[in-house]
Amino acid sequence: MLKQIIIDSINANGPMPVDEFMQLALVHPEYGYYIKQNPLGAKGDFTTAPEISQVFGELIALWVVDKIVSLNTNQPIQIVELGAGRGTLMADILRVIQKLVPQIYDTLKVVIIETSPALIKIQQQALERHNVTHNSNLGDLPNLPTIFIGNEFFDALPIKQFLELDGQLKEQCIKVDNGHLSFSLDLSKGKIYEVCPLAQTIMQRVSKHIQAYGVGGLFIDYGYKQGSSDTLQAVKNHKYHDVLQDIGDADITAHVDFGALIDIADKHGLSANYSTQGEFLSRLGIDIRTQILCKNKPHQQQLEIQNATSRLISPNQMGELFKVLEVD
């Protein structure tokens, strides 16, 4: 159904830019991928780090607590998560904060920015013990010191693709050939540029808020700091999939241009630290936390805990593919 809607639009209006295609595929109000289903977990199309191990959220909780304590203020603090998945990450963060620093937990304001009705229901169930507010955009946040968190958020935002040929930029579009969708340009013919206007707009809002009120942001995703290539991809049933097939039933993402996000943070006078996920989690003590979790556990459970940690930090798994941007 969604494919036919896109074909009809192209037939009526001409080739469709990649960002417009992604927007329809992911958040069409009736048939969009994130609108109609829960894409996460073993029964979904992909698994995120919080679902792999509780250690991930626990260590991020320590990062959050450090930021709050260093602020040294009696003002209420708010945590804003951009796209919270199944709510697992925020549940782990709040559990740790409640246990370690209940005085901070008692005054926290927690906001989740989410557009998926299916995921909002799951998040509400996962976070029913906590006082959490849902919102659909960043425009209504109170003027408070804020910690922004985004885990695999920016990769799902629509990108534009351009191909440089003979000194000119041509935009990649989706066209219709004999009733089938295809790309208008062969990206192997020249230099590729990818731009995500929405990511830049969101980063500007985040940076402006941090600049005005404190505290910082933590963004984790697969991406790059320099260079660009064709990173548009689709995933279905935990496997790579044809971007133009099963539209609305497969996740479509692109690698995040962290260099562009860092530039925005710099322009707002913020410091930005860029590292791999493996480096970040190791710095926060993932090995020690893993040892503690394994203590007095049956051998098989110890192996499961250790394998989950390895998946998060090993260079040949998520450790180097995923990058971390800290701004404050």
- What is the pLDDT at residue 35? 83
What's the pLDDT tens digit per position in 101-110?
A: 999 999 999 9
- What is the pLDDT at residue 41? 46
With respect to residue 310, please indicate whether it lies within any of the assigned structural domains: yes
In the predicted model, what is the mean pLDDT of residues 267-282?
97
* Residue percentage of the chain with pLDDT more than 90: 79
In the predicted model, what is the mean pLDDT of residues 207-234?
94
With respect to residue 230, please indicate whether it lies within any of the assigned structural domains: yes
Average pLDDT of the chain?
Answer: 92
What's the pLDDT tens digit per position in 99-139?
A: 999 999 999 999 999 988 888 999 999 999 999 999 988 88
Please determine, for residue 270, whether its predicted confidence score (pLDDT) is greater than 60: yes
Instruction: Name which residue leads in pLDDT, 55 or 229.
Output: 55
Instruction: State which residues form the domain around 130.
Output: 2-159+196-327
Please determine, for residue 274, whether its predicted confidence score (pLDDT) is greater than 60: yes
With respect to residue 307, please indicate whether it lies within any of the assigned structural domains: yes
Tell me how many domains the chain contains: 1
- What is the pLDDT at residue 96? 96
With respect to residue 181, please indicate whether it lies within any of the assigned structural domains: no
Please determine, for residue 300, whether its predicted confidence score (pLDDT) is greater than 70: yes
With respect to residue 286, please indicate whether it lies within any of the assigned structural domains: yes
- What is the pLDDT at residue 42? 47
What's the pLDDT tens digit per position in 30-54?
A: 899 888 766 554 455 567 899 999 9
Please determine, for residue 21, whether its predicted confidence score (pLDDT) is greater than 60: yes
CATH number at residue 99: 3.40.50.12710
With respect to residue 36, please indicate whether it lies within any of the assigned structural domains: yes
206, with CB counted inside 10 A (0-12, 13-18, 19+), is: buried
With respect to residue 146, please indicate whether it lies within any of the assigned structural domains: yes
With respect to residue 91, please indicate whether it lies within any of the assigned structural domains: yes
In the predicted model, what is the mean pLDDT of residues 210-239?
91
